[in-house]
A and B are shown apart, each in its own frame.
Chain A
Amino acid sequence: MRYSGLKVITEGLFGNKGWKPAWRDPAPKAEYDAIIIGGGGHGLSTAYYLAKNHGLTNIAVLEKGYLGSGNIGRNTTIVRANYFLQGNSEFYSHSMKLWEGLEIDLNYNVMHSQRGLINLFHSDGQRDAFVRRGNSMINQGDDAILLDREGVREMLPYLDFEQTRFPIYGGLYHPRGGTARHDAVAWGYARAADKRGVDLIQNCEVTGVDIENGRVTGVQTTRGAIKARKVGIVVAGRSSQVAAMAGMRLPIESHILQAFVTEGLKPVIDHVVSFGMGHFYISQSDKGGLVFGGDLDFYASYASRGNLPMVEHVMEAGMTLMPMIGRAKVLRSWGGIMDMSPDGSPIIDKTHVDGLFIDCGWNYGGFKAVPASGWCMAHLMATGESHPVAARFKLNRFATGHILDEEGTGSQHNLH
């Protein structure tokens, strides 16, 4: 069923009785050409592009819970292409272009909103670093505008410009940055993949990876054994567990990241604002809730909830930056399990097992990457070669010294 404005109107006139489930609920087959483990954003987009770009349709996505139950439904939805390093910048640039055509491509409203992202700076040194970043973004073909203090004041009059600890000197404005509805991204890819024949199998946890003579032959699951000559591990925070089933020990440590949302308010924050010095960022959802977050809790964790010190810190940072939000009531807070790589950049690569591929290490920034990650992982699984824009996301780059330390903080899990 194609979605359209006309369809909404006719369904409205006839009691909304014609809507059908957005995807099938098939039982797993005994064998597929390819299996994707993990029905998050990256797993679903990988399946979609395998079908669409490479014509592979006898494939399945195996999800241990329900589609979208992981980080794809827990993130703060920021989409941006403001990376500095070669290796990252062409990848996120590619992702941004896919975002810009995504709704038409998927025939699904993912509520992608390019409302603009502003990264604030608070010293001359930080401004110089942002000038370099902005130039690198422009060289990549993306957009960046340096705002001085008055420029920021015009767009974000509600900030506390006079604070003594971090006076606002200006901001790097990325007009094409913004947000999208996170669940809708999972649902849109799921529906579009299903339509091309991909089996989306929920409540199906992978419990083992079958390997014969160095080649993957299938997986063991809570719904029985399933054969496949190609298997992709796309399980974000659970990457270490699934990779261990294939005898791998990954350069990943799982950490908790929290987020918060307030009661719905009238439109008040029109952009995405990020306050790096205070470890705080915020936007307003289309429902009106202020959605904000900060840093990791900074210890390895698999609990989908954080601890109070980070809650306090994020609230303090928010109040420092924009005291006007102090009256808003926080409705919910939650956490997600982040697959932290040592250098803060992802991995899309083959493994030591023939036919077994891995896509992980998304840290706290994998939502914006959903389209390009699926595109590149599908390319790798179909052709056996890395896609040019993801060529540096190698699994062994820590051993070879080719790290991609975007923030310049060092190659250690707890530094990003």
Chain B
Amino acid sequence: MRLTCPLCGERDRREFYYYGSEDYLNRPAPDAAPQAWDDYLHNRDNPAGVTRDLWYHDMGCSSWLVVTRNTVTHDILAVEAVADRKGGAA
């Protein structure tokens, strides 16, 4: 499995740290209901198919990345930097 970092180009999976679902980008407001925090921290769609998750280019440029990929085939469909997303950094 290889990921194409927007800054560094195509790199081996070993250079990246997997963090988890892109749910982690949608942090609830501090005063949100406990259910919103439980959903954010623990509950997952966990799809068999296309998913979007967060990876960190640990041994490269230190960017946080949102990777769109297929959990059944391991195909990587898109990689974008979190910082480039609308709304800016997480």
Contact = CB atoms under 8 A, between A and B. Distances in A.
Interface of A: 238, 240-241, 244, 249-254, 298-303, 307, 309, 342, 398-399, 411-414
Contacts of B89: none
B44 A250 contact: yes
Contacts of A298: 18
Contact of A301 (B19, B42, B74): B74
A280 to B, nearest CB: 18
Nearest to A251: B42
B10 interface: no
Contacts of B71: 254, 300-303
Contact of A399 (B21, B34, B53): B34
Contact of B20 (A240, A249, A253): A253
Q: Is the interface of A mostly helix, strand, loop or mixed?
A: mixed
A252 B35 contact: no
Contacts of B42: 251, 342, 398-399, 411
A399 B74 contact: no
B48 A398 contact: no
26 contacts: A240-B47, A244-B45, A249-B39, A249-B44, A250-B43, A250-B44, A250-B46, A254-B48, A299-B1, A300-B20, A300-B51, A300-B53, A301-B71, A303-B71, A303-B72, A307-B1, A307-B13, A307-B74, A309-B13, A398-B38, A398-B41, A399-B38, A411-B41, A411-B42, A412-B20, A414-B18
B48 A241 contact: yes
A250 B49 CA distance: 17
B27 interface: no
Contacts of B35: 399
Q: Which has the most chain A C-beta neighbours within 10 Å: B19, B42, B74?
A: B42
A302 B72 contact: yes
A299 B18 contact: yes
Contact of A413 (B38, B44, B51, B73): B44
Given A301-B74, A303-B73, A309-B14, A252 B20 contact: no
A412 B53 CA distance: 14
Contacts of A303: 71-74
Contacts of A398: 38, 41-42
Contacts of B51: 300
A254 B20 CA distance: 11
B31 interface: no
A238 B46 CA distance: 9
Nearest to B18: A299
Contacts of B44: 240, 249-253, 413
B16 to A, nearest CB: 9
B21 to A, nearest CB: 7
Given A299-B53, A300-B21, A303-B71, A252 B46 contact: yes
A302 B13 contact: no
